Amino acid sequence: MLFHPSKNPVELRVIHLNKNQEQRRQDLMEATQGKAALKQLKKRMAKKAKQALKDKAKGKNKGNQVFVLDFDGDIKATAVKHLREEISTLISTANEGDEVVVRLESPGGLVHGYGLAAAQLARLKDAGIKLTVCVDKVAASGGYMMACVADNIVAAPFAVIGSIGVVSQLPNFHKWLKNHDVDYEMFTAGDHKRTVTVFGENDDEDRAKYQEELEQTHELFKHFVNTYRPTLDLEKVATGEHWYGEDALQLNLVDKLQTSDSYLLELMDNSEIYALHSRQKPTLAEKLGLSQAAEATLSTVADKLPDALMRFDFNSRLNILK
């Protein structure tokens, strides 16, 4: 991370989407219409590029740039690790009039993880950079918490949108432990250090406190959404339900129905578009494939462990869970 040194630093790859698209166009034209047609196309492109440079010199065309980020969210929002790097880089380099497009896919997850991811997107807004979020498949729960920060939300017609709600569920093994004569003891300091537990016996007071905490989290979620989309009717949309794109548009959860591909193609007419992809630099062992080999070896050894050792391992993990 930018301000947190790492043994495996992050590397950033930048892809000029305009050039990629133009190269594909040329390849298709050459294959279908021949080299003569391709030559004429290149002449038109050169003339257009020359005119664009003249317009830019005269101030007619500011040459705004668009930067594309991808966020593929899991339950822990682990992609925020790279998102924060990309946003920090953009804030220090983007110019007035530039736009950031985030292609967002997430069914939601942990509150604190997605709270941080949404706060990272808010940094772009605070820096005065236009932010658009495109949702092709799903932006629910924590995913919508992120999306609502944007100036514009563009969703595909059948994208899943919404689910402004909070859910928590856990098993309870108290009866099972009791039936097997296993005692469970827990020691806390503070009236509400623990409410409901996995192994202890839960009472109505524990459940009521836990429900109260969920309601508080829901209120924070609604307040956050209302801050960035004040025209939403929260009584109607903050029920934990989700909607498909067309219904979401009518409810003002999104601003436009369109795929991310179509949206970016429109922007290409007047903007240079760059996709940013960051990743953790592979270690030498990973480059040589040693980590995969070690993992395969450990898996083979584990399959051959005697039953007694496996039972010991289960008991150890049970103690950790306590």
pLDDT tens figures, 104-140: 999 999 999 999 999 999 999 999 999 999 999 999 9
Instruction: Establish if 27 belongs to a structural domain.
Output: no
Residue 75's domain comprises: 10-18+62-163+241-281
Domain membership of residue 207 (yes or no) is yes
Question: Is 246 found in the same domain as 274?
Answer: yes
Residue 261's Cα: distance from chain center in Å?
18
pLDDT in tens, 130-177: 999 999 999 999 999 999 999 999 999 999 999 999 998 889 999 999
pLDDT of residue 292: 62
pLDDT in the model for residue 31: 84
100 and 176 part of one domain: no
Residue in the structure block whose two tokens are 């240079």: 272
Number of neighbours of residue 61 by Cβ within 10 angstroms: 14
Q: Are residues 78 and 190 in the same domain?
A: no
Residues 114 and 219 in one domain: no
Token pair 């083979």: residue: 300
- 260 and 315 together in one domain: no
Domain containing 253 — which CATH number? 3.90.226.10
Q: Each residue of 77-110: b (16+ CB within 10 Å) or e?
A: bebbbbbbbbbebbeeebeeebbbbbbbbbbbbe
Residue 298: what pLDDT? 56
pLDDT score of 293: 63
Residues 245, 314 within the same domain: no
Is pTM, for the whole model, over 0.75? yes
67/76 Cα distance (integer angstroms): 25
Residue among 154, 128, 172, 144 at smallest CA distance from 254: 154
| Residues 178, 159 share a domain | no
Can you tell me the distance from the alpha carbon of 266 to that of 246, in angstroms, rounded to the nearest whole number? 21
Q: Known catalytic residues?
A: 141, 193
Is 218 in the same domain as 262? no
Residues 242 and 140: their CA atoms lie apart, in Å, by 7
Spell out the per-residue pLDDT of the chain, length 322, in tens.
556 556 666 788 999 999 998 888 888 877 888 888 777 777 777 777 676 666 666 665 556 899 999 999 999 999 999 999 999 999 999 998 899 999 999 999 999 999 999 999 999 999 999 999 999 999 999 999 999 999 999 999 999 999 999 998 889 999 999 999 999 988 889 888 888 999 999 999 999 999 999 999 999 999 999 999 999 999 999 999 999 999 999 999 999 999 999 999 999 988 999 999 988 776 666 666 665 666 566 556 555 544 443 333 333 333 332 2
| 172 and 151 co-located in one domain | no
Listed residue (177, 225, 220, 170) closest to 198, CA to CA: 170
The whole-angstrom separation of Cα 157 and Cα 136 is 8
| Domain-located, residue 55 | no
Q: Do 147 and 264 fall within a single domain?
A: yes
Domains contained in the chain, number: 3
Is 312 a domain residue? Answer: yes
CA distance 117 to 112: 9
Please indicate, yes or no, if residue 267 is contained in any of the structural domains: yes
Is 26 a domain residue?
Answer: no
Residue 31 lies in a domain: no
Q: Are residues 224 and 299 in the same domain?
A: no
Domain shared by 66 and 158, yes or no: yes
**Confidence (pLDDT) at 150:** 98
Residue 70: inside a domain: yes
